[in-house]
Structure 1
Amino acid sequence: MELTQIRLLVSDFAPVYRFYRDVLGLKPQFEAEGGPYAKFSPGTGQAAIALQDRAQMAGALGRSAAEPEGCRALVVLRVDDLNAAHAELISRGAEFTRGPGPMGDRIRAAYLEDPAGNLIELQEWLVLRDQAGSAPA
């Protein structure tokens, strides 16, 4: 597994976005002040800090928008084979909130929680960002 990002789940997206962009000076990969998702990369080869609208994440998990209010962060780990990682973690006692499934057209993801209730997303990249333009739609 490879740490790809720490994602902060936020209810008021724009002010948090501006803080990371304007105050901390992190460069967003794309302009997205209105959300619902943004990614700031501190440097090449380093894990990123990302922001995601809390209500959107709740919807992806099949929860009500109010339910994840206590959860503020999401750790994202990239795996080469999501199905294999999912099966291995289940064999170790992990209980998944949502099993492997598509997350857009470039990623498959599965979700679990640590004992404190923090979300963990396992990602399998189907298409790398630099290959997305050449991939069939």
Structure 2
Amino acid sequence: MELTQVRLLVSDFPAVYRFYRDVLGLKPQFEAEHGPYAKLSPDTGNCAVALQDRAQMAGVLGQLGTEPEGYRALVVLRVEDLDAAHAELGARGAEFVKAPGPMGERMRVAYLEDPERNLIELQEWLALREESARNARR
């Protein structure tokens, strides 16, 4: 078994698509602003976030139930510099629900929501930052 993607079921496909493409800066495999499906990836790594139109999936399954309440999904993105990412995404219109702060001793995190209130966590791995600083001093 191989995990190929995490897919979010969304009601306002164009708004969510533009958020992941324009605000977060993920690259679509193909342009599909009006759906019903899209897959977007960061510049590095082999992971992806996929978007699926909720109404289209309801048609496939026959029903999907009511809209979810509260957070039902968490997309996690690692960044090199959390403060820089926070400033850059804020300048692009992202509204954070929790500003950058520590998550234990090994990580800093910040949280924002996409247009359908899916939670997004930005992570800065402090051990990687310290290792990069040590390598730069050599």
Pick the TM interval, shorter chain.
0.3 to 0.5
Give the number of the structure whose alpha-carbon radius of gyration is greater: 2
TM-score by length of 2: 0.46
TM-score by length of 1: 0.46
